[in-house]
A and B are shown apart, each in its own frame.
Chain A
C-alpha cells in the first residue's frame, strides 16, 4: 500500500512533496463530506484517539475532536496545564499510563519544542503534532495550504506573505516548510525584534516594511500578535504595532488582484487586522476553520493503522 512516508506527523520540515499532496488530495474528499447532511464516516471505527493538550487550546482541540468523531473514532481528552504536571509525574509516565489504556493515536499540544518526537520514543501510537512550543504546527499549515490550493488550484508560483511574530510562531515555521516544499514563494514580515536570529537562513524574503512585503503578493496570512510580547519589551506599544504591521484596507492596494486574506485565529480585531479586511470577501478566515477539520480528518485517516517500519 502506498501511503505517507512516516507513521507520525511531527512537523512539515522533512515531509516530502508527495506526502503533502497526498494529504491535501485526501482532504478534498473529507471536505466534501463536511457539506453533507450526515457528516459521519466509519473510517476509524474501533480506533481510540487521545487528545493530549498540555497547553490551553479551544479551536485546535475542538477541531481535532470533531474530526475524530466524524471518522467514528473513540476519543479521550487529557487536558492539563504544564505547571500542575511539573509537580507530579513525568511526561513519560503520564503518557505510558494513558497508553496502557490502549490508545492507537495521540494528538499532542505542548509548550516545549520536541515533545511530539519525545512521545514517539515512549509510546507506540501514531503521533500527530498539534503544536509544540514555537517549533511546528503542521495541521495548521496544511489547512492553510489546502485553503490556498482550493482557491487557486495550485500552490506553485504563488506569493505568500506571513506577517507577525516570526520568532514565537510555530504556525509560521510550519507554513514556511510546507509552502516552500510545494513551490510557493514565501515572504516573512514582522518587527525586527520578532524576527529570530539568522532568519535569512529560512531562505525566504524577509521584510520589516509591511508595504514592501505586500507588493505583488497573492496571499497574506496574518498571525495573532500576543500582547505579552509588548510587555517583554519586544515592541513599544500595540498602537505602534498596528501602525507598522496592521493589515488594513489602505494596504490592500499592494496585493495582486484576486488576493486572499488569511488568519489562523483568534483575531485581535483592530490590532493586526482591521475588521474591514477581516470581514471582506477576500478573507477566507472561516473557510480555514472548516478546512481545518477536513485536513485533520485526512491526517488521522492516512496515519491510522500505520505500524513501525517492518511490521
Chain B
C-alpha cells in the first residue's frame, strides 16, 4: 500500500537549504514532484514513516540532503560533436555528479544562435537525467560582429546569452548586447579574455610559461576584459555575468563593482581554485590545458578569497568534453577544456570545505540558490512547494577519480588518480531517482 499522502520520503539526513538558511536533521517528504514537507524527527513523524513502503523511502542517515545542484556553465557538445558528449550522456554525468540542472553553452555546431537550435537542444533534453537550460549566442555564429536574434532566443526559452569560448572583442557590440538584453531581463555571460592580448596563448603567462617556452595567456587580458565590461555595465545598467573568473585583479574588479552597486555576478571553476600552473611542466598533460588557463598560486588564492567573501557567488564546472583522440596530442595542439560535472562536488568538498574556506551551507548556496536566482531557474531550494530536485551527498566518502568510471563520454579530466572526499549518493530530479551511487 504505502503512503498515499506522500510519494517519497528522504529520512534521517541533515537537510541543508541555504535559501531558507537552515541546516538540521529532518525528514523530507515529496508529493507530485514537489517538496511537500520537511519535518524534524518525532514520535508522530515516526508513525507517519511507518505507513511508507520500503520502495518509497530513501535512507539518508549520515548524509546531507540539499537542493539539486545547479551548474551554469557546461558544454554538452550536441549538436556537432556527439563523439565527445551528447545531451543524454552529459545529463547522465550531471546526475552522477549531483547536478539536477545545467546551463549549456552555445558553441555547438551549428551554434545555438537561432530558435531552431534552442529548440533542438530542448527537444533532445526531454526526459533526460538533468534539466538543461540553454544559453543562446550574443552574436551570430559567435563571430562577435552582429547581434543574434536575442528576442527570438529568449522567446524560445534561452535563459542567458554568451559567446562563451570567445570574448566579444568589439566594445560597441558588447554595449549593444548589454542594452538589448536588458529588454528581456536576462544576464549577459562573458568569457572575459581580451583576445588581442591573449592571441596564440596556450597556458598562463608566468614563470612556468617562461620556463617551458610555451606562449602565455596573460592575466591582464582577463583584467582588462572584466574592467571594460564593468564599465559598459555601469552605463547600460544591464546584468553582466563574468564566466570562469581566474585572476586576482579580475576578482578585485568585480568586488569593487559590487560595492558600487553595479549588477555584476560571477562564477569560479574548480580548476581555478584547486590547480596551479606548475603542474603543466611535469608531464605536459593536455587535460591541464584550459581557457582561461590554470593560473599561479596567487591567483588561485584570490579566487578562493572571492568565494569566501561572496564576491564570487557561483561555482560552475565549465564541463568541456573532448575526445581522447583530440587530447592525445602535442600540448599546444590539443583543444582547451576539461570535463568537470562528476568531480566538481568532490573538489569543492576536498579543497574548499575540508580546508575550512567554506561551510557546507556556503558551498551549497553557490551551487543552488545563487545560480537559480541569477538565471531564474526553478529549484535551488527545498522550500515546501518547490520542485523536488534533490541531491543527497555522502559528505565524507573517500574515492579515487578513475577514467573508466565517468558517465561522460569523454575522459579529459586532470584529476584522474586524485583521492577526493565527498560524493553524490542519490540524485533526484522531479521526484524521480536519476542517480544512485554505490
Contacts and interface: CB of A to CB of B under 8 A. Distances in A.
Contacts of A113: 212-214, 284, 331-332
Contacts of B329: 90-91
Contacts of A196: 209-210, 216
Interface stretch (A29-37, A179-187, A197-205, A219-227): A197-205
Contacts of B205: 197
B42 to A, nearest CB: 61
Interface string B324-336: 0100111111000
A268 interface: no
Interface in A171-193: 173
B215 to A, nearest CB: 8
Interface in A74-94: 86, 90-92
B207 interface: yes
Interface residues of B, number: 20
A270 interface: no
Interface in B203-233: 205-207, 209-214, 216, 218
Given A92-B328, A113-B284, A201 B213 contact: no
Contacts of A136: 213
A90 B210 contact: no
In this complex, the member of B206, B211, B283, B328 whose beta carbon has the largest number of chain A beta carbons within 10 angstroms is: B211
Contacts of B333: 86, 112
A136 B85 CA distance: 37
B214 A117 contact: no
Nearest to B284: A114
A135 B330 contact: no
A194 B410 CA distance: 39
Contacts of B212: 113-114, 135
B325 A90 contact: yes
A13 B208 CA distance: 13
A115 interface: yes
A170 interface: yes
A152 interface: no
A197 B207 contact: yes
A117 B209 CA distance: 16
Contacts of A170: 213
Contacts of B207: 197-198, 201
A135 B328 contact: no
> Is the contact region of chain B dominated by helix, strand, or loop, or is it mixed?
loop
A134 B284 contact: no
Contacts of A132: 213
A110 interface: yes
A167 B212 CA distance: 10
A132 B325 CA distance: 22
Contact of B330 (A118, A121, A134, A197): A118
A133 interface: yes
A173 B213 contact: yes
A98 B284 CA distance: 22
A112 B210 contact: no
A135 B330 CA distance: 13
A226 B212 CA distance: 20
Interface string B177-214: 00000000000000000000000000001110111111
A133 B213 CA distance: 7
A146 to B, nearest CB: 23
Given A118-B284, A197-B216, A110 B330 contact: yes
A196 B206 CA distance: 9
Contact of A197 (B209, B284, B325, B331): B209
A201 B330 CA distance: 26
Contacts of A135: 212-214
B284 A199 contact: no
A199 B210 contact: yes
Contacts of B214: 113-114, 133-135
Contacts of A13: 211
B328 A112 contact: no
Nearest to B333: A112
A133 B332 contact: yes
Interface in A49-93: 86, 90-92
A86 B328 CA distance: 13
B195 to A, nearest CB: 16
A117 B210 contact: no
Nearest to B330: A112
A110 B212 CA distance: 14
A196 B211 CA distance: 9
Interface string B280-320: 00011000000000000000000000000000000000000
Contact of A114 (B209, B216, B331): B331
Contacts of B213: 113, 132-136, 168, 170, 173
Contacts of B331: 112-114, 118
A175 to B, nearest CB: 13
A264 to B, nearest CB: 16
Contacts of A114: 212, 214, 284, 330-331
A107 to B, nearest CB: 17
A198 B210 CA distance: 7
A167 B332 CA distance: 17
Given A118-B330, A121-B283, A197-B207, 12 more contacts: A86-B333, A92-B328, A112-B332, A113-B213, A113-B214, A113-B332, A115-B330, A135-B212, A197-B206, A197-B216, A198-B210, A201-B211
Interface of B: 205-207, 209-214, 216, 218, 283-284, 325, 328-333
22 contacts: A86-B333, A90-B329, A92-B328, A112-B330, A112-B332, A114-B214, A114-B284, A114-B331, A115-B330, A117-B284, A132-B213, A136-B213, A167-B210, A168-B213, A173-B213, A196-B209, A196-B210, A197-B205, A197-B206, A197-B218, A198-B206, A198-B207
CB-CB nearest 3 A-B residue pairs = A134-B213, A114-B284, A112-B330
